[in-house]
Amino acid sequence: MSMRTASVERKTAETAIKLVLNLDGRGNGVIDSGIGFFDHMLNLMASHGLLDLTLACDGDLEVDGHHSVEDIGIALGQAFKQAIGDKKGIRRYGTFYLPMDESLAFVSLDISGRPFLVYDGGPMAPMIGGYDSELTEEFLRAFAFNAGITLHVKVLYGTNSHHKVEAVFKALGHAIRQAVEDDPRVEGIPSTKGML
């Protein structure tokens, strides 16, 4: 399987984003979203997913973080869709439970070509540092719909909002890593339909 990489540049009146993604990387992240906690989460996702991710975003943070986080999700989803290519030989599905101290998160995904998100983050503190916790769902939706994946995310329990969101992003990295892996027993596209 050849290296699967993609570059995306997205510019709107609200954000300017440059992003490079390598699905077959070593977990290296060079990330500047302008939101420290979100940078931390994306770095964790890249590290646990063995994704190489370079990202720079200049967003209207004087408004709030919404446009930056959502647009990064859009750009990352677009890059993922480009990088995954024809989907031949991949495992397609990824599922991971991840404990983070007192918190436990579950992520399950299907590189299906049918975008969907089911998200249940449970109760969260409104802000985690300079990050609005509601933006986790916005990021996941933008990513899933632009990547063309079905994504289910649930925080099963926990008390610390930082830990809950961290568990989600780490679990997402692991689930992506599983799903994009080469499966030598799969010939062609892993679907009885013959396409994804």
- First-last CA distance in the chain: 18
Q: Mean pLDDT for the chain?
A: 96
Each residue of 14-69: pLDDT tens digit? 999 999 999 999 999 999 999 999 999 999 999 999 999 999 999 999 999 999 99
Confidence grade of residue 151 (pLDDT, cut at 50, 70, 90): very high
Q: For residue 195, what pLDDT is reported?
A: 82
Confidence grade of residue 194 (pLDDT, cut at 50, 70, 90): confident
Eight-state DSSP code of residue 134: T
Instruction: Please give the Cα distance from 189 to 196 (Å, whole number).
Output: 7
Each residue of 154-190: pLDDT tens digit? 999 999 999 999 999 999 999 999 999 999 999 899 8
Confidence grade of residue 71 (pLDDT, cut at 50, 70, 90): very high
Instruction: Please give the Cα distance from 128 to 138 (Å, whole number).
Output: 15
H helices, E strands: number in the chain: 4, 10
Amino acid at residue number 40: H
Q: For residue 1, what pLDDT is reported?
A: 52
- How many residues in the chain? 196
Domain locations in the chain as residue ranges: 5-180
Q: What's the CATH architecture for 5-180?
A: 2-Layer Sandwich (3.30)
Confidence grade of residue 83 (pLDDT, cut at 50, 70, 90): very high
Confidence grade of residue 86 (pLDDT, cut at 50, 70, 90): very high
pTM over 0.95: yes
Hey, what are 154's tokens? 């649930």
- CA torsion 140-25-80-134 (nearest 10°) is 10
Instruction: Please give the Cα distance from 120 to 84 (Å, whole number).
Output: 27
